[in-house]
């Protein structure tokens, strides 16, 4: 078992890049984003439920219960915003913009977990913020619905990361991730309009791609939660976001997102420099 948080986070980041790329490729074809989100949540939930007998640790108590329930419901809302973000925004834009999590995670970690930032880390925050604005521009932020989905996802995902860090100290990875996936796996079909018809219509064409994407997401979740048990949430999240900067290049090359390519690359460089300073 790997016990180096940097290696684990790098694995999580690479898997996340592959997961994001597959998401964009599937959703770009016009498939139902809500059904797609439900399928990968269900697959992930089933996998970690089956893993629990081989990976079980739980500190029973009110605090643990509250943390695990909160983790699940932030994922439910975060998944909805995440899929909408990818359905309405270019991968190379959304992947940089959603990296604003690097701004919020250390701030929330300071407020709720007591993790402190250095001067260079504050410089890194400024660089990341500048990189995001370079890529999207204020006019683009106001005019594109996908960007607003990205903003919502950033906030909810930040809270989720703090909760995952807390959960990693009171439960095993399998229990944490099963709790993380449970509300979305159960409630999404109940919240969807015409859910049975939409699931029947959508599942067949996307099942294979969803299974493959789910494998990458399972790897991401396992390694990132394991990394949280070994290092601070600020360190892990910063390196993770640095690795996922590769998604910018993927969006430009694979999906031919070549408009404002220079600005996107400049933004990627700025955010990457900022992330390095935050580590």
How far is the C-alpha of 277 from the C-alpha of 119, rounded, in Å?
Answer: 9
pLDDT at 46: 96
| DSSP annotation string for 206-249 | HHHHHHHHHHHHHHHHHHHHHHHTTS-HHHHHHHHHHHTTHHHH
Nearest one of 265, 256, 259 to 96, comparing CA atoms: 265
Sign (positive/negative) of CA torsion 178, 181, 185, 186? positive
How far is the C-alpha of 68 from the C-alpha of 38, rounded, in Å?
Answer: 19
With contact defined as beta carbons under 8 Å apart, do 69 and 167 qualify?
A: no
- By three-state DSSP, how is residue 79 classified? helix
DSSP code for 255: S
With contact defined as beta carbons under 8 Å apart, do 210 and 101 qualify?
A: no
Burial of 114 (0-12, 13-18, 19+ CB in 10 A): exposed
How far is the C-alpha of 275 from the C-alpha of 269, rounded, in Å?
Answer: 10
β-sheet bridge partners, residue 50? none
Furthest C-alpha separation in the chain: 54
Express each pLDDT in 27-63 by its tens digit: 777 778 788 889 989 999 999 999 999 998 999 999 9
> Which tokens go with 88?
């309405």
Report, as an integer, the average pLDDT of 54-78.
93
Task: Supply the range of the domain harboring residue 91.
Answer: 5-278
Express each pLDDT in 92-135 by its tens digit: 666 666 767 877 888 888 888 888 877 887 788 788 777 766 76
Report, as an integer, the average pLDDT of 229-233.
89
Which of 85-89, 160-164, 262-266 shows the highest mean pLDDT?
160-164
What total number of domains does the chain contain?
1
At residue 252 the predicted structure's pLDDT band, cuts being 50, 70 and 90, is low
Indicate the pTM of the whole model: 0.81
């Amino acid at each position: 078992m790997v016990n180096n948080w940097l290696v684990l986070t790098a694995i999580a980041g690479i898997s996340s890049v592959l997961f994001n790329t597959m998401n964009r490729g599937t959703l770009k074809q016009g498939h139902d984003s809500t059904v797609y989100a439900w399928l990968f949540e269900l697959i992930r939930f089933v996998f970690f439920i089956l893993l629990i007998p081989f990976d079980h640790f739980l500190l029973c108590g009110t605090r643990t219960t509250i943390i695990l329930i909160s983790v699940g419901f932030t994922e439910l809302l975060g998944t909805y915003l995440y899929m909408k973000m990818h359905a309405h925004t270019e991968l190379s834009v959304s992947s940089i913009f959603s990296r604003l999590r690097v701004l919020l995670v250390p701030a929330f970690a300071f407020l709720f977990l007591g993790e402190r930032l250095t001067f260079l880390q504050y410089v890194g925050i400024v660089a990341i913020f500048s990189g995001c604005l370079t890529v999207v521009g204020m006019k683009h932020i106001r005019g594109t619905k996908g960007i607003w989905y990205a903003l919502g996802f950033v906030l909810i995902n930040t809270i989720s990361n703090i909760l995952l860090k807390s959960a990693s100290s009171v439960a095993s990875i399998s229990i944490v991730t099963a709790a993380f996936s449970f509300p979305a796996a159960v409630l999404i079909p109940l919240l969807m309009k015409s859910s049975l018809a939409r699931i029947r219509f959508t599942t067949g064409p996307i099942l294979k791609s969803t299974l493959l994407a789910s494998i990458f997401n399972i790897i991401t979740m396992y390694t990132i939660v394991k990394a949280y048990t070994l290092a601070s949430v600020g360190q892990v999240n910063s390196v993770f976001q640095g690795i996922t900067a590769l998604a910018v290049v993927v969006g430009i090359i694979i999906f031919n997102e070549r408009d404002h390519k220079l600005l996107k690359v400049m933004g990627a460089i700025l955010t990457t420099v900022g992330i390095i300073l935050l580590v």
